[in-house]
């Protein structure tokens, strides 16, 4: 007998490729940093403390991210998420996460740091200079403990004396703001800031931004411009905004509309609200000939 024929299965139609909707901005492809961030987040959410640490550092220091309505690459920061993931790793004993977490925290916190302080004390007794500096910051800012200006200054000063760059920057802050029972001293603040700047070079924004702030308080317009421009070129958004203000008003530099637009555009591309407003205002004004 002849076998009955079997009808071929009816497959569902292949979905049509949707064309981009006119007038709607399309999100650019993910950057390498964004792809890595997604991988770390998956691992961190499963309890991987190394992934949580890496994720926290990236959120704290910034990673390359694409924003659909802004052309080009921008640096994305999220301090709250940075602290969240650093604490996730630090609370389980990840030492690098502990150091980064203390550097990120400012002032009193609701986080339970008792275990972290115990680890830092043990490390300090073993001669670890990062632990000494971190404990100094904890006591200076009252992070999870009662403030103790004497201990704070002692620990930070001792760590700075053996060349710890983080402690040296804190010494600059102490004298810049007059903390830990020390009087405000811009000369000492500058000396410590110059040490940091010499060590870090163009790898870090802290040096030029602190030196610009010191020059600003001294009303030294030449040095203020020098360090602000350098920080702006290194990508510091507030410094880019300041450069735009200087050029649009002609403060310390020749008034130059195009240069002001350039700096405001850079700051605006990083989401600076004031620069966005200023840019719109400048572009609305007719050019005077």
The Cα-based distances of 251 to 43, 72, 203, 218, 235 in angstroms read 50, 30, 28, 16, 21
> Are 40 and 55 in contact, with CB atoms under 8 Å apart?
yes
pLDDT at residue 26, as a whole number:
61
Q: pLDDT, tens digit, for every residue of 47-56?
A: 999 999 999 9
pLDDT at residue 118, as a whole number:
97
| Complete DSSP assignment for 170-203 | HHHHHHHHT-TTPPP-HHHHHHHHHHHHHHHGGG
Please tell us whether the domain made up of 109-204 is placed in CATH 3.90.45.10.
no
pLDDT at residue 20, as a whole number:
58
Please tell us whether the domain made up of 30-104 is placed in CATH 1.25.40.
yes
Q: Say what the pTM is.
A: 0.81
What distance separates the 2 farthest-apart alpha carbons in the chain? 107
Instruction: Name the segment(s) of the chain with CATH classification 1.25.40.10.
Output: 109-204
Q: How far is Cα of residue 41 from the mean position of the Cα atoms in its chain?
A: 19
The Cα-based distances of 181 to 60, 145, 166, 177 in angstroms read 30, 18, 20, 10
pLDDT mean over 202-213: 91
Q: pLDDT, tens digit, for every residue of 147-187?
A: 999 999 999 999 999 999 999 999 999 999 999 999 999 99
């Amino acid at each position: 007998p002849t076998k009955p024929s079997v009808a071929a299965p009816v497959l569902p139609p292949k979905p049509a490729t949707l064309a981009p909707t006119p007038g709607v901005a399309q999100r650019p492809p993910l950057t390498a940093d964004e792809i890595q961030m997604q991988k770390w987040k998956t691992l961190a959410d499963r309890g991987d403390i190394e992934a949580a640490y890496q994720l926290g550092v990236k959120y704290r220091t910034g990673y390359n991210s694409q924003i659909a309505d802004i052309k080009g690459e921008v640096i994305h920061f999220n301090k709250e998420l940075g602290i969240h993931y650093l604490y996730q790793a630090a609370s389980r004993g990840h030492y690098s996460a502990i150091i980064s977490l203390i550097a990120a925290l400012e002032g009193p916190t609701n986080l339970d740091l008792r275990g972290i302080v115990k680890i830092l004390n043990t490390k300090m007794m073993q001669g670890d200079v990062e632990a000494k500096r971190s404990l100094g910051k904890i006591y200076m800012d009252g992070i999870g403990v009662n403030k103790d200006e004497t201990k704070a200054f002692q620990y930070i000063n001792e760590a700075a004396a053996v060349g710890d760059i983080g402690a040296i920057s804190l010494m600059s802050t102490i004298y810049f703001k007059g903390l830990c029972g020390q009087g405000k001293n811009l000369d000492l603040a500058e000396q410590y800031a110059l040490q940091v700047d010499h060590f870090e070079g163009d790898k870090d924004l802290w040096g030029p931004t602190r030196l610009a702030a010191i020059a600003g308080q001294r009303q030294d317009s030449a040095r203020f411009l020098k360090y602000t421009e350098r920080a702006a070129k290194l990508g510091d958004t507030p410094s880019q905004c300041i450069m735009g203000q200087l050029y649009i008003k002609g403060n310390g530099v020749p008034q130059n509309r195009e240069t002001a637009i350039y700096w405001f555009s850079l700051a605006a591309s990083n989401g600076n609200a004031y620069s966005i407003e200023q840019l719109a205002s400048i572009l609305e004004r007719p050019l005077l000939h």
